[in-house]
Structure 1
């Protein structure tokens, strides 16, 4: 087994925090993983992993070595891709991530179109309602809703969304339309816990933050479930404007308390900064920027509309 293979095994063990999980991911036997790590530690002359019966952790030396492995293997992959022409011709595997509902509504329909244009690219779409690590999880392109906080990332704004309070017209006809966020204390609330943007209900009034504590009668872990329940007329929910654009247009849901909404959040197509951006990343970013940037549901310019 060469050193590059050992490095890949070590990286996988560290990421999976276990030998068995790493073996499954690499499709090799657990004893092979154990032997590779033992051979590395013996050759280097220091312990890289601290093992107990229940857990596995990197030692200080192991963390430094992990960082070096990522850098070295990244440079090797970059050299191979350059030699293969991937910086001029879109090819290879491309991983993109996006929030679940955004990915289902706006990204998934575009993937087949992109693949038809670039038949040498293979796509993997990671749709999750959490902030992923582009470096650690091998992500090439990410759709982020909100502001970037990483210095190694470059983002292109393609739209913006609002955090809106909405409910079915029949609910408001029965219980009345709230005119101030404080009135939501007596409302039937269904809350999505999929994102802090939706579980933390913040409001503003003329630039001043308003804070209220609500006790939702129903909490669900999926945004679409909260939207479906609101459409039934059971209660009100907070979602992002793009998530209910079609329901509002169809009259199934109505947005209230627009004057108390916090500032809109940017939608950004994000990729890692690099001196040389692979063609697969460059073309996919350009493709998404054009398609998403022209979608009117992602460009709410006034609080009175979605």
Structure 2
């Protein structure tokens, strides 16, 4: 077994945190994975993985070696793509990440259009509500909401979103429309545990920051559930404007306290900008940036012009 293949096996075991899971990912048998790791440790002369009957984790030497493996394999992949002409022709595997709901509503439709236009590219879309480390997880392009990029990365702003408080018109007709954020203490509130807005909501009052503690009567695990409860008239919630744009347009939800909202958050397409950028990344970034930049729900200025 060559060393590059051993590195791929070791990388799979470390990322999947198990031999069986790594074998499924590599489409091989668990014994062959075990033999590869044993051969690697014997050749290097040190233990890379600490194993018990219930768990597996990297040793200190294993953690350092994992970082080296990722770098070496990335350089090998880059060399092969360069030799194959991927810097002039979009081809190969592309990994993209975005927040779950934003990815489902806005990124997924663009993926299909892009793949139809560039048939030599395959895409893996990682839709998660966490900030993915692009280098560690091999991500080529990320959609980020907020100022969330690192040195060496290029960020292209494609829109912005607001943090909005909303409820159904029926709920507001019955309980009244709050005129100040302090009135939220009297409201029935549903919020998501995946949000950072579970215990307090931030506003701006007379150009000064204002923090309002909230006591949600209902905490759910996903924003969609909180939005549905608000749409059904149960209470109020606070989410990002893109998440309720369709419901607001349909009259199912009404946004309140708009004059107290903090500054909008930028939507950015982020990618590594070091050396030559493969054609698959350049074309996808251009394609995605153009599509998102044309969406009126993400660009209020466009809506006003229309």
TM over 0.5: yes
Name 1:228's counterpart in structure 2: 228
**Unaligned stretches of 5+ in structure 1?**
none
- 1:60 positional shift: 1.8
Name 2:170's counterpart in structure 1: 170
Pair 1:297 & 2:275 matched: no
**Unaligned stretches of 5+ in structure 2?**
none
Matches within 5 A, 1:103-114: 103-114=103-114
- Find the aligned partners of 1:26 and 1:294 in 2 and give their Cα distance: 40
Q: 1:151 to 1:199 in 2, by over 3 A?
A: farther
Q: TM-score, normalised by structure 1?
A: 0.94
Name 1:144's counterpart in structure 2: 144
- Find the aligned partners of 1:83 and 1:203 in 2 and give their Cα distance: 53
Q: 1:115 to 1:265 in 2, by over 3 A?
A: same
- Find the aligned partners of 1:195 and 1:272 in 2 and give their Cα distance: 27
**Residues 244-291 of structure 1 deviation map (CA, whole Å, 9 limit, x = unaligned):** 112212221111111221211000011122201110110000001111
Matches within 5 A, 1:199-278: 200-278=200-278
Name 1:46's counterpart in structure 2: 46
- Find the aligned partners of 2:78 and 2:199 in 1 and give their Cα distance: 41
- 1:195 positional shift: 2.8
CA contact (8 A) 1:191 1:199 kept: no
- 1:205 positional shift: 1.7
- Find the aligned partners of 1:36 and 1:185 in 2 and give their Cα distance: 60
**Residues 96-119 of structure 1 deviation map (CA, whole Å, 9 limit, x = unaligned):** 111111112111121221112111
Q: Which shifted more, 146-155 or 278-287?
A: 146-155
Name 2:82's counterpart in structure 1: 82
- Find the aligned partners of 1:198 and 1:79 in 2 and give their Cα distance: 47
Name the count of aligned residue pairs.
303
Name 2:65's counterpart in structure 1: 65
CA contact (8 A) 2:99 2:128 kept: yes
Q: Secondary structure at the match of 2:269?
A: strand
Q: Which shifted more, 120-129 or 139-148?
A: 120-129
- Find the aligned partners of 1:146 and 1:159 in 2 and give their Cα distance: 11
- Find the aligned partners of 2:301 and 2:54 in 1 and give their Cα distance: 53
Name 1:286's counterpart in structure 2: 286
Name 1:18's counterpart in structure 2: 18
CA contact (8 A) 1:198 1:238 kept: no
Matches within 5 A, 1:122-201: 122-196=122-196, 200-201=200-201
Q: 1:200 to 1:279 in 2, by over 3 A?
A: farther
Q: Which shifted more, 172-181 or 94-103?
A: 94-103
- 1:46 positional shift: 1.2
Q: Secondary structure at the match of 1:201?
A: strand
CA contact (8 A) 1:49 1:56 kept: yes
- Find the aligned partners of 1:13 and 1:200 in 2 and give their Cα distance: 40
- Find the aligned partners of 2:197 and 2:213 in 1 and give their Cα distance: 15
**Residues 202-231 of structure 1 deviation map (CA, whole Å, 9 limit, x = unaligned):** 222233222222111111222222111111
Q: Secondary structure at the match of 2:297?
A: helix
Moved over 4 A (4+): 197-200
Q: TM-score, normalised by structure 2?
A: 0.94
CA contact (8 A) 1:162 1:263 kept: yes
- Find the aligned partners of 1:126 and 1:57 in 2 and give their Cα distance: 24
Q: Secondary structure at the match of 1:289?
A: helix
CA contact (8 A) 1:163 1:238 kept: yes
Over the aligned positions, Cα root-mean-square deviation in angstroms equals 1.8
**Residues 93-148 of structure 1 deviation map (CA, whole Å, 9 limit, x = unaligned):** 11211111111211112122111211111122222222222222222111100112
